[in-house]
C-alpha cells in the first residue's frame, strides 16, 4: 500500500491528504478510531489514461468509486469534509471542457464535496514530466466554471509562491 500522509491538528482531528488510489485503505480507516476532519482526493483528470501519465506505477480507480468510499468514511465522522484536490497543470487539465467533464462525473456528489483548485508545488518529478501550473487567470476562469456548476470551490496556493501549493508528485521521489 502507498504511504498516505495523515496528520493531526490542534483539535485532535486528523486529515487524510493525497489519498484515493488504494481503495482498500478506506476499509482500514473505517475501523480506526481517529476522528477525521478532511479526506482529500487527488484527481488531475477525468480520464484514467491521463491519470496514468502522473501515476505511472498503478492504475487509479475511477473517481466515482473513490468518492463513494470517501463519503462513507466521512459520514462516520461528524463534520468531516471530502475535497477533490484538482491540481491545475498547464496544457494537461486546465481547459474548461476538461473541467466540465470532470464536474459531470462529480455531479451526484456536488453537495457533499469541495473542489480545491491547487497550484503545483514544483518538485523534481514534476520537472521531469515537464509539468507546471498555469497562470492565475486560468485559476480564476476555472473557479468560475466550477462555481457556476454549483460546486463549493476555492483556490489553494499563489502564483508568487508555488511552494505553498500541493506537491503530490513528490511521492514519486520515494518510490522504487
User: CA 74 to CA 114: how far, in whole Å?
Assistant: 13
Domain edges within the chain: 6-174
Q: Give the pLDDT confidence of 21-40 residue by residue, as tens digits.
A: 677 777 777 766 667 788 88
The CA-atom distances, in angstroms, between 53 and each of 34, 58, 130, 143 are 34, 10, 11, 24
CATH superfamily of 6-174: Aldolase class I (3.20.20.70)
Q: What is the largest CA-CA distance in the chain?
A: 43
How much is the pLDDT for 99?
A: 97
CB 121 within 8 A of CB 170: yes
Per-residue pLDDT reduced to its tens digit, 68-126: 888 988 887 788 899 999 999 999 999 999 999 999 999 999 999 999 999 887 778 77
Query: Among all chains, which residue has been given the C-alpha cell 486546465?
Result: 94
0.85 surpassed by pTM: no
| Residue 99 in grid coordinates | 473541467
Task: Write down the pLDDT at residue 143.
Answer: 97
- Asked if residues 93 and 82 have their Cβ atoms less than 8 Å apart, the reply is no
Amino acid at each position: 500500500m502507498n504511504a498516505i500522509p495523515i496528520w493531526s491538528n490542534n483539535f485532535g482531528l486528523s486529515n487524510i491528504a493525497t489519498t484515493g488510489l488504494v481503495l482498500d485503505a478506506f476499509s482500514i480507516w473505517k475501523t480506526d478510531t481517529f476522528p477525521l476532519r478532511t479526506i482529500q482526493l487527488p484527481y488531475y483528470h477525468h480520464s484514467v489514461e491521463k491519470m496514468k501519465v502522473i501515476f505511472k506505477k498503478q492504475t487509479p480507480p475511477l473517481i466515482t468509486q473513490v468518492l463513494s468510499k470517501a463519503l462513507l468514511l466521512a459520514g462516520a465522522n461528524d463534520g468531516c469534509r471530502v475535497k477533490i484536490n484538482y491540481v491545475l497543470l498547464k496544457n494537461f487539465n486546465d481547459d474548461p471542457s476538461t473541467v466540465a467533464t470532470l464536474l459531470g462525473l462529480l455531479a451526484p456528489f456536488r453537495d457533499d464535496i469541495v473542489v480545491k483548485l491547487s497550484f503545483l508545488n514544483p518538485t523534481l518529478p514534476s520537472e521531469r514530466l515537464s509539468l507546471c501550473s498555469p497562470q492565475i487567470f486560468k485559476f480564476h476562469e476555472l473557479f468560475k466554471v466550477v462555481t457556476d456548476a454549483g460546486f463549493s470551490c476555492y483556490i489553494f496556493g499563489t502564483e508568487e509562491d508555488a511552494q505553498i501549493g500541493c506537491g503530490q508528485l513528490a511521492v514519486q521521489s520515494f518510490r522504487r
